[in-house]
Structure 1
């Protein structure tokens, strides 16, 4: 898991062949006016999901993991309250992985909570169980989905 500000994005370009393109999308798009929903960037290898709204209380947040995609979650406005736990120490999922949604959900709770204010991003890899939107504040954000094994 990584937490940083967008100004430092170039530090992460070498971690994945599509990270530079992903971060350029964040830096060059007018994220405040993009419509809610999915935005194609590089086919199914890289796409964005723009959302806006309130989340859930921390006690109701669910830890999730993905297998096919890495998440870069960038907060446009508001503050997202997120949780993290190493997948290796999570119990069995109570909502098992399905390929259609590329997610499994866990009954575990974490004590690793942190705030992600506007201008910051997180990177969650497949071994990072994470809970986002554990806030009742209004948040506008973009989640970039980057295929772990990009076709390109």
Structure 2
């Protein structure tokens, strides 16, 4: 997991060839004019899920994990709080991993919580279970979740 500000995203480009395209999209897009949901950018290699709504609170969110995509979770309005736990430490399967959806849920509790204020991002790799939208229920959030293919070519 990585937590940083958008102006520093370039330092992570060596980790995945798709990060440069994700950064470019984050910087040039006015997310306040987009509808929530999935928006394709580069086919299945790169897309964004725009999430808008109230935080659900730490007790209501569950850890999720993905294998085919790296998440760059960018907070536009918030702040968000995201729980984190190493995937290998997750023992309580809530929803078995579905390879087609690239998604599984765990009932384990996060080991740590990170505040992700507006203008900041958190990167979650396949070995990072994460619980987004953990900010309190009085907090209205707008987030762009960039889904970057692990095997970007």
TM over 0.5: yes
Unaligned 5+ runs, structure 2: none
User: Secondary structure at the residue paired with 1:11?
Assistant: helix
Q: Corresponding residue for 1:131?
A: 131
Match of 2:102 in 1: 102
Distance 1:38 1:3 in 2: 23
Q: Which residue of 2 aligns with 1:15?
A: 15
The 2-side partners of 1:89 and 1:99 are apart by 20
- TM superposition outliers: structure 1 runs of 4+ over 4 Å: none
TM-score (norm. length: structure 1): 0.94
Q: Pairwise mapping of residues 61-100 of structure 1 onto structure 2 (< 5 A)?
A: 61-100=61-100
2:144 alignment counterpart:
142
Report what 2:60 is aligned to.
Answer: 60
Tell me the number of residue pairs that the alignment of Structure 1 and Structure 2 aligns: 151
**What is the CA distance between 1:92 and its match in structure 2?**
4.1
Match of 1:27 in 2: 27
5+ long unaligned stretches in structure 1: none
Cα distance in 1, alignment partners of residues 119 and 26 from structure 2: 10
The two structures, once aligned, show a CA RMSD in angstroms of 1.1
Alignment correspondent of 1:114: 114
Structure 2 CA distance for aligned equivalents of residues 94 and 51 of structure 1:
22
What do residues 71-124 of structure 1 show as CA deviations (whole Å, max 9, x unaligned)?
A: 000001111111000111111422110023211111100240121110000000
